[in-house]
Amino acid sequence: MIVLITGGARSGKSTFAEKYAAHLGSSGVYIATAPITDEEMEERILHHRDRRLQSNFPWQTIEEPYALTEWLTKLGAQKDIQEQQTVILIDCLILWLSNWLLHDQEEQSFEGVLQQVDVLVNKLKDYHGTVLLVTNEVGDGLVPQHPLGRMFRDLAGLMNQRVAAVADQVFLVTAGIPVELKGQAFRF
């Protein structure tokens, strides 16, 4: 089962995702995509780690800014992941997208980053387990002033649409309240 959890910054997405993972499985693998870039980011990461450690749910944490598909392949090949009903939680797709966009900035193109998204989407379709993916909804704001900001916003919107299309469930979290969207979506 693929579950996409989206919302604004500080909306409660990660907290909801962690609680939902505990509801769906008996253990979890938390793939954190945020690199430590400064002291403030390190504090945020430590806060997330502490919250998981204080929960009664057993988490294994993998810190990986790029290789999500490789980890899904490795984890999918482990029989104990399936047998123990281990839930994979990826937090956060937007940071993963940013990592790819800023990686070798001169060489990264819109199409190159979108290709990384498509590889991930195809891997999700083939994965035989439960994966929760946390992302941000970034299209509700103003049009960014700079070309890189507009490229990021456009890529984020396309990524979220593509993951939502293959997801079994999609939640929007606002003010800590999750609302299920996928079941309410208009069908053509």
Task: Point out the annotated binding site for GTP.
Answer: 7-14, 32-34, 49-52, 63, 91
Binding residues: 7-14, 32-34, 49-52, 63, 91
Residue-wise DSSP of 88-139? EEEE-HHHHHHHHHHTTTTT--HHHHHHHHHHHHHHHHH--SEEEEE----T
Q: Strand pairing of 27-32 and 86-91?
A: parallel
Contact 134, 90 (CB under 8 A): yes
- Residue 158 contacts by C-beta under 8 Å, 6 or more apart in sequence? 114, 117
CA angle in degrees (0–180, nearest 5) for 90-99-46? 55
Question: Of 23, 48, 103, 146, which one is the catalytic site residue?
Answer: 48
Residue 48 is among the residues annotated as catalytic for this protein: yes
How many CB atoms are located within 10 Å of the residue 115 CB? Answer: 12
Q: Which residues are catalytic?
A: 48
